[in-house]
Amino acid sequence: MADQVEIDKAIAAHGMWKTRLRDAIEKRKIDTPAETIRVDNQCAFGKWLYSPALNSVDKASEHYKTVKDLHAEFHKTAAKVVELALDGKRREAEKMIGLDGEYAGISSKLTSAMVGWKKSLG
């Protein structure tokens, strides 16, 4: 069953990624390989999204589908930032996480979708 606490934890955890990405850009290293970051079912929220904790009604909802798609895109985009950072392409990586950047956009959309899903749960 969809759970407001899980969604709250995910909002917080995904919000912290910007700090991790800034650190990766600065230091040109990160503790998690880009290949792992790219996959959307390795973080705690992703594991929950794909788990049996959510029933078929939850997984059929538009909120679930939207969040799942945006979550996958979030991870692909974060991995792209990490790859740029590790390749020394600092300016490109910083542009992606900047206010009008691709990462900033997907992060904002994902957060909005998670907040909407949480509100729909009562």
DSSP string, 41-107: TSSHHHHHHTSTTS-HHHHHSHHHHHHHHHHHHHHHHHHHHHHHHHTT-HHHHHHHHSTTSHHHHHH
**Tens-digit pLDDT profile for the chain (122 aa)?**
778 999 999 999 988 999 999 999 999 999 999 999 999 999 999 999 999 999 999 999 999 999 999 999 999 999 999 999 999 999 999 999 999 999 999 999 999 999 999 999 98
The contacts of residue 35 (CB under 8 Å, 6+ apart) are 79
pLDDT at 15 (0 to 100): 87
The predicted pLDDT at position 1 comes to 76
CB atoms within 10 A of CB 49: 22
